[in-house]
């Protein structure tokens, strides 16, 4: 089946979905017998619940996963066991800090007001086409770097400057996907010869390390200056809070700079890619469903007591049930991370009846799950925010093993609330100020990558709304 998969690599996620629909939700992809490449694909909620929650201890990331995703080192995305527990505990502790939410909203709003809105206003003024995906990637990259390192790369500007570390993240994700569909011996040879995607991955690794270690050194110097001047409490920064947690949780014998590098790269990658991709697909489906956009705009005026120049906080935005439903519906159809990779420690039998052993690669396709009639009904391909609204008018919650965008079980995304806050602030602000129209004839389809980026971007035209209520 590998040749057929490679022939459909340009539409890989839809190709996998078609196969899973035909096989009833779970199916084995047979690879060459010498390459140990048999992969069990599943979009069955019962299997997902079993793997991610019920029998979690038997399904770690595993050695094969860590080799494929080696660029992330021992960060939270890549680690297992005690190391993963420490990573998670450290990061969750910082996210729960009393001053973190305020820092998060301040960073997002500063970037929205000083960079995003002025750029979009200029686009409207000149009536030019613009790649909205590129704008969102730059916006989220600047935001996550400012949040993590207190360092803004300034990638979001009218001249769209080339930023090596921004490009490196994209190159790395494309190379990682290829490692899933070719034998390990082959991609290791390509890495040794420094050709193709493996060369790009190697170069990306060096570029990201250089950026992160430079930021770490600068933050460490700033932190030392604060202490040497006798200031115990300065402004709250993510780096300072992270360092304190690391000092409390990480053994002194560990390589702390390496631990910090791995932790921060994981957060940097997730914060840049997942949010920008979610925003891109959201505005794509919104442009194709103007009635939904109108309902969200009405909700903004009804619930946010909108005033020009006012910053809406997370609490106010959380009252917007229809906006929440529209975002969840977009994430259901277009999950930023379209699949999850697992391998069992011990032989097991899944609820679907499929037998798996420690050599079996299991691919959970979240992209396919959003397109299964058996899960979401006959209208699963329709964009219906009402799907997420209860009969009483509140938010309707779906179990995580059915709506797996933020994963499920113990490894549920630690940054879920952070991501939703950013999505709501940015989407509500743009909808309030602009109407977005897709450029006719521009193809919109996902690229073959570890994340669901649009291959040709999202070309749009923006029109500034003429009437804004005060």
- How many other C-beta atoms are found inside a 10 Å radius of the C-beta of residue 276? 26
Write down the residue that tokens 């206003």 correspond to.
121
291, two tokens:
């009635």
Beta 39-42 vs 26-29: how paired, if at all?
antiparallel
How large is the greatest C-alpha to C-alpha distance in the chain, in angstroms?
68
**Overall residue count recorded for the chain in this entry:** 470
Within 8 A by CB and 6+ apart from 458, the residues are: 131, 132, 133, 280, 283, 284, 438, 442, 444
Beta 459-464 vs 130-131: how paired, if at all?
antiparallel
Q: Rounded CA gap, 365 and 304, in Å?
A: 37
Nearest of 31, 62, 277 to residue 173 by alpha carbon = 277
For 43-104, strand residue ranges (E) read none
Within 8 A by CB and 6+ apart from 38, the residues are: 28, 29, 30, 31, 359, 360, 361
Q: Rounded CA gap, 122 and 160, in Å?
A: 13
Q: Was 413 annotated as part of a binding site?
A: yes
Write down the residue that tokens 């914060």 correspond to.
271
397, two tokens:
């919650």
Q: Rounded CA gap, 147 and 237, in Å?
A: 8
Task: Give the CA-trace dihedral at 169, 173, 176, 178, to 10 degrees.
Answer: -130
CB half-sphere exposure, 6, CA atoms < 13 A: 11
The b/e string for 440-459 (b: 16+ C-beta within 10 A; e otherwise) is: eeeebebbbbbbbbbeebbb
- Binding region: 413
- Binding region for heme: 413
């Amino acid at each position: 089946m590998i040749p057929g998969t490679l022939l459909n690599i340009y539409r890989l996620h839809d190709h996998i979905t078609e196969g899973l629909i035909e096989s009833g939700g779970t199916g084995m992809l047979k690879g060459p017998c010498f390459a140990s490449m048999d992969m069990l694909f599943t979009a069955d909620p019962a299997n997902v619940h079993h793997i991610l929650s019920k029998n979690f201890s038997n399904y770690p990331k595993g050695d094969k996963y860590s080799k494929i995703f080696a660029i992330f080192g021992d960060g939270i995305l890549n680690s297992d066991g005690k190391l993963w527990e420490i990573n998670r505990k450290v990061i969750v502790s910082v996210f729960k800090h009393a001053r973190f939410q305020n820092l998060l909203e301040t960073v997002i709003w500063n970037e929205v007001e000083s960079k995003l809105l002025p750029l979009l206003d200029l686009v409207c003024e000149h009536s030019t086409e613009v790649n909205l995906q590129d704008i969102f990637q730059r916006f989220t990259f600047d935001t996550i770097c400012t949040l993590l390192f207190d360092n803004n790369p300034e990638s979001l500007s009218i001249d769209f400057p080339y930023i090596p570390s921004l490009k490196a993240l994209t190159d790395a994700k494309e190379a990682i996907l290829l490692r899933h569909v070719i034998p390990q011996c082959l991609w290791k040879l390509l890495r040794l010869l420094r050709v193709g995607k493996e060369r790009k991955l190697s170069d990306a690794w060096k570029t990201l390390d250089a950026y992160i270690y430079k930021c770490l050194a600068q933050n460490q110097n700033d932190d030392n200056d604060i202490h040497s001047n006798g200031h115990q409490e300065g402004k709250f920064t993510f780096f300072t809070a992270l360092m304190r947690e690391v000092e409390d949780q990480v053994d002194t014998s560990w390589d702390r700079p390496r631990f910090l590098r791995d932790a921060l790269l994981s957060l940097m990658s997730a914060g840049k890619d997942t949010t920008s991709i979610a925003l891109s697909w959201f505005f794509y489906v919104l442009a194709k469903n103007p009635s939904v956009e109108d309902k969200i705009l009405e909700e903004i005026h009804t619930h946010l007591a909108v005033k020009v120049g006012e910053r809406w906080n997370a609490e106010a935005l959380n009252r917007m049930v229809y906006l929440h439903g529209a975002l969840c519906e977009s994430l259901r159809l277009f999950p930023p991370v379209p699949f999850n990779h697992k391998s069992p420690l011990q032989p097991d039998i899944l609820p679907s009846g499929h037998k798996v052993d420690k050599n079996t690669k299991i691919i959970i396709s979240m992209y396919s799950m959003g397109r299964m009639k058996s899960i979401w009904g006959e209208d699963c391909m329709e964009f219906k925010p009402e799907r997420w609204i209860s009969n009483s008018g509140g938010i309707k919650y779906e179990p995580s093993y059915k709506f797996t965008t933020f994963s499920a079980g113990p490894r549920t995304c630690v940054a879920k609330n952070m991501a939703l806050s950013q999505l709501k602030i940015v989407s509500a602000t743009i909808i309030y100020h602009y109407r977005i129209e897709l450029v006719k004839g521009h193809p919109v389809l996902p690229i073959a990558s570890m994340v669901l980026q649009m291959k040709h971007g999202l070309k749009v035209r923006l029109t500034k709304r003429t009437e804004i209520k005060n």
